[in-house]
Structure 1
């Protein structure tokens, strides 16, 4: 079943973009968002199912959260 979102559910803003690896002055490498690809979008928080929460325990995505954004031609799969 597809969850339908009302327009007033998109009440938060975020910046999304493609990440790139940057070398710091000390020689380390960090990932930063490329400022040329930044988009300001509104999003709605998406709830994870209990089964999905159990699947991601112990992985790198355990401390993240899911968002839903409206369709936008500028958003690509890399973002």
Structure 2
């Protein structure tokens, strides 16, 4: 996944944040997405070999996105893409001082109980 990504490929938008708990009138705590910032991303397609390897380790339902290197992004954050919340399963950060430094995020769907 170290291919060069063109700036024009960063044409999707994702919201980053953390999970917060909101108490309802009945006193029940409900998890809610707490927005922090928005970043542009480029979806990364996997080769067939990478897809087969992902299935072997039970990561077939994950997606991979690339963002420009951003030190504010951490592994314990949530990512909201098209009204779907994802947890960051893996963060491959490139903290070199390079104009083309990308962070690769492996995202898994954050399924809620009862949903």
Place the TM-score, normalised by the shorter chain, in its bin. Answer: 0.5 to 0.7
Structure having greater relative contact order (Cα 8 Å, sep ≥ 6): 1
**TM-score for the superposition, normalised by structure 2:** 0.48
Residue aligned with 2:55, SS: coil
Q: How many residues align?
A: 77
Matching of residues 38-77 of structure 1 within 5 Å: 38-57=36-55, 61-77=59-75
- 2:2 maps to 2
Decide whether aligned partners of structure 1 residues 16 and 63 sit closer, same or farther in structure 2, where only a CA change above 3 A counts. same
Question: Over the residues paired in the alignment, what is the CA RMSD in angstroms?
Answer: 3.3
- In the superposition, the TM-score normalised over structure 1's length comes to 0.64
Where do 5+ consecutive residues of structure 2 fail to align?
Answer: 78-115
Superposed CA offset, 1:3-30 (max 9, x none): 11111110010112334677889xx987
Could you tell me which runs of 5 or more consecutive residues in structure 1 were left unpaired when the two chains were aligned: none
Between 1:68-77 and 1:53-62, the stretch displaced more is: 53-62
Flag the structure with higher strand content: 2
Structure 1: which 4+ aligned runs deviate by more than 6 Å? 21-25
Greater percentage in helix: 1
Compared with structure 1, are the counterparts of its residues 30 and 7 closer, same or farther at alpha carbon in structure 2 (3 Å cutoff)?
Answer: same
